[in-house]
Structure 1
Amino acid sequence: MDSLTPTFTLPDLERMFSVLPDGGTNPHYEAARREARHWISHYNRLAFGPMMTAFLENCEFELSSSYTYPQLDKEGLRATMDWVNILWYVDEVTDTETGENAGITAEVVCRALQESDYDDGTTLCHLIADFRDNHLSRAGPETARRFLDHCKQTFSAFSKEAELRERSEVLSIRDYLTLRKETSGVRTCFDLSECLMGVDLPEAIYNMDSFRKGYEASMDLVCLANDLYSYNMEQSKGHSGANAMTVVMKAKMIGLQEASDYIGNLCENLLSEFQGSQREMEALAREAGEDEADILRDAIRVLEAYGHWVRGNVEWSFETERYFGKENKNIRQSLRVTLLPTNSVSRSLDE
């Protein structure tokens, strides 16, 4: 290896997050994966060329659901696999679009989720409508409302991200983290955790400081882990502006390794905040009356599900070629990332 090739060391998030319960993988993974892979492959072949389709299959997005939703039944796990495949599908599409075109994509997704008679004839519309008809009936009224609202936020944020990319604009740390929680789609994934466990929390729970702290911290942890792991891939495609590493380097005027260390320290603080939220909710449940305690215990279960997402997301990231390619096992051991040349990777959707 050339001694001048830029490298950096990742924070050891697996060790850091080992304090969270280890849910393992979902026992229904193989059966649900077969169904989910068959379903998404049909749409991938209609929208993408053979190279892009093969790349998406090698990413093993279904496996991410097995790690992040270990508690769900087979039907629930299948629903999450379909949704995660949709998020990555739309992510790849909007990565190649202008802000205006990404806005059109967002409108198609949101209308297809909400309007049963909407059909613009596109593969994307049919994909989303299929998911809606297959899975959304399990959501309670509160969770369904949140899920649809969060979908609007997520897919609108894809358009915003595309606009920033067009302008080569890098946000402040605060503004970036706010946007990142939306572009990640993690809010919608958390909504699925809740509804597919048979929970339908009232909005009052989300307005409680004790719950909200854990909710926001766990989302940030998922987003920051993804940014750390995806930085090399993103910068190799020329998309590094929408990544916490770039944002921190610019805001703090520091180098690559210092930015990685900064984000690692931020993750430690966020993990403490998440665990503090869990303790506060448990204390409130012990002191509450019977009816209120039942709701609070459901909220505690939901926070635990978020913890599965935080830990499982990191474990999946090293089990797939999504971020590190064939070097994923070696990087898991060494935590050392060697940067690819900037703008050296280009994947056309129709190749």
Structure 2
Amino acid sequence: MSTLISPDHFILPDLVSDCTYPLRVNDNCEEVARVSEQWLLDMANHSERKRRAFLGLKAGELTAACYPDADAFHLRVCVDFMNYLFNLDDWLDEFDVEGTRGMHDCCIGAMRDPLNFETDKRAGIMTKSFFSRFIETGGPGCTERFIHTMDLFFKAVAVQAADREKDVIPDFESYITIRRDTSGCKPCFALIEYASRIDLPDEVAEHPLIRSMEEATNDLVTWSNDLFSYNVEQSRGDTHNMIPVIMHQRDLNLQEAVEYVGALCKSSIQRFETDRKNLPTWGPEIDRDVAVYVEGLQNWIVGSLHWSFDSERYFGTSGLEVKQQRIVKLLPKVSS
């Protein structure tokens, strides 16, 4: 390490300036976000502390920026899923491997048959609620992609739980692979199709350049999230984050690791743009749907960046100040 003195802050890379895409917000944001928040609170049975934290999340605002053209019905399903996903992520942080697998079986079972699947678990009931509305209009390819990527999410979280139990910090390449699934971005990309009322043919959805653009988007959202969430996570000793992985493997100090991750974020946007220029043509109708999908990925890049400072999840009520000054003061460690 280049220093033995523990830092009391770090400086974020200027990710917002690196991203020049227009930020648009769905006109239905306010109404749908508030209704969905009540839906989640009615189902989740949170304590007062968790209720306050949830309302500071502002997942509806994130969703409205990522799906700015969705009508109210489709936006509502997307917001419900986003609220559900964040809560699922928080719940799973406290689960061991066996508990995570049980959650997987419950939620995936509810997606496979949301009308008839029987469960008394809160997560399963919530899954049945939003997914029974999803299947009303979701195309067959889009629906299958959503369920498949949620399956990947649960399996990756089980690996994360195993690492947590053993107090293991994964190597860099292993972390990247698993983080692309624990991020939960992949099912959110299937929601781009759902919200836009399109259903890409499998040969298009599986094209190497489409997959590469999805990966670049996932990486930007994920690596930037690791930067934004690091402070809260380090305070509670959570090492499932790119920064401690980089510090451990590359022998970097905190600021050096932060700048390394920032460079990865910038390169992911450059990769996205290179792939966009090289996309093939599939004919006018499919090309139109592909353009809609690619713009949806772009919306995820810019929408997630700006929301991270508006939400209270990472910086409390200081998000705007952090966005402007980029200085993050480290929180004290929480004793277990």
Specify if TM > 0.5: yes
In structure 2, distance between residues paired with 1:261 and 1:26? 33
Deviation at 1:123, TM superposition (A): 1.7
> Greater shift after overlay, 166-175 or 82-91?
166-175
Report what 1:296 is aligned to: 287
In structure 2, distance between residues paired with 1:156 and 1:122? 19
Deviation at 1:117, TM superposition (A): 2.1
Query: Is contact 2:196–2:292 with CA below 8 Å preserved after alignment?
Result: no
Deviation at 1:166, TM superposition (A): 0.9
Q: 2:319 aligns with which of 307, 328, 333?
A: 328
Equivalences for residues 63-82 of structure 1 within 5 A:
63-82=61-80
Give the AA of the match of 2:274. G
Equivalences for residues 124-163 of structure 1 within 5 A:
124-163=123-162
Count of aligned residue pairs for this structure pair:
331
In structure 2, distance between residues paired with 1:30 and 1:326? 20
Give the AA of the match of 2:96. T
Report what 2:119 is aligned to: 120
Q: Which runs of 5+ in 2 are unaligned?
A: none
Report what 1:305 is aligned to: 296
TM-score, normalised by the number of residues in structure 2: 0.94
Equivalences for residues 53-68 of structure 1 within 5 A:
53-68=51-66
In structure 1, distance between residues paired with 2:266 and 2:195? 29
SS of the aligned residue for 1:318 comes to helix
In structure 1, distance between residues paired with 2:133 and 2:140? 17
In structure 1, distance between residues paired with 2:284 and 2:19? 28
Deviation at 1:135, TM superposition (A): 2.2
Matched, 1:192 2:183: no
Query: Is contact 1:67–1:312 with CA below 8 Å preserved after alignment?
Result: yes
In structure 1, distance between residues paired with 2:135 and 2:166? 37
Query: Is contact 1:227–1:245 with CA below 8 Å preserved after alignment?
Result: yes
Q: 1:96 aligns with which of 94, 98, 101?
A: 94
Give the AA of the match of 1:200. D
Query: Is contact 2:11–2:255 with CA below 8 Å preserved after alignment?
Result: yes
In structure 2, distance between residues paired with 1:174 and 1:343? 29
Deviation at 1:175, TM superposition (A): 1.5
TM-score, normalised by the number of residues in structure 1: 0.90
In structure 2, distance between residues paired with 1:248 and 1:186? 22
Deviation at 1:306, TM superposition (A): 0.5
Report what 1:349 is aligned to: none
Query: Is contact 2:74–2:194 with CA below 8 Å preserved after alignment?
Result: no
> Greater shift after overlay, 4-13 or 269-278?
4-13
Q: 2:264 aligns with which of 266, 282, 287?
A: 266
Report what 1:164 is aligned to: 163
SS of the aligned residue for 1:8 comes to strand
Matched, 1:341 2:332: yes
In structure 2, distance between residues paired with 1:327 and 1:34? 22
In structure 2, distance between residues paired with 1:67 and 1:222? 14
In structure 1, distance between residues paired with 2:134 and 2:91? 23
Deviation at 1:97, TM superposition (A): 1.3
Report what 2:36 is aligned to: 36
Deviation at 1:188, TM superposition (A): 0.3
Deviations 1:138-191 (A, max 9, x none): 211111111111111112222221111111111122211111111111000010
Q: Which runs of 5+ in 1 are unaligned?
A: 347-351
In structure 2, distance between residues paired with 1:24 and 1:78? 17
> Greater shift after overlay, 85-94 or 36-45?
36-45
Report what 2:16 is aligned to: 14
Q: Stretches of 4+ moved more than 4 A in 1?
A: none
Report what 1:217 is aligned to: 216
In structure 2, distance between residues paired with 1:61 and 1:207? 29
Query: Is contact 1:173–1:247 with CA below 8 Å preserved after alignment?
Result: yes
Deviation at 1:5, TM superposition (A): 4.7
Deviation at 1:210, TM superposition (A): 2.4
In structure 2, distance between residues paired with 1:58 and 1:207? 37
SS of the aligned residue for 1:27 comes to coil
Deviation at 1:34, TM superposition (A): 2.6
In structure 1, distance between residues paired with 2:80 and 2:105? 20
Report what 2:245 is aligned to: 247
Give the AA of the match of 2:145. R
Deviation at 1:4, TM superposition (A): 6.1
In structure 2, distance between residues paired with 1:180 and 1:167? 18
In structure 2, distance between residues paired with 1:131 and 1:104? 20
In structure 1, distance between residues paired with 2:324 and 2:245? 27
Give the AA of the match of 1:51. R
Give the AA of the match of 1:36. S
Give the AA of the match of 2:224. A
In structure 1, distance between residues paired with 2:277 and 2:149? 27
Instruction: Give RMSD over aligned pairs.
Output: 1.6
Deviations 1:313-335 (A, max 9, x none): 01001111110112212111111
In structure 1, distance between residues paired with 2:135 and 2:245? 36
Query: Is contact 2:146–2:190 with CA below 8 Å preserved after alignment?
Result: yes
Deviations 1:295-328 (A, max 9, x none): 1331122111101001100100111111011221
Give the AA of the match of 1:209. P
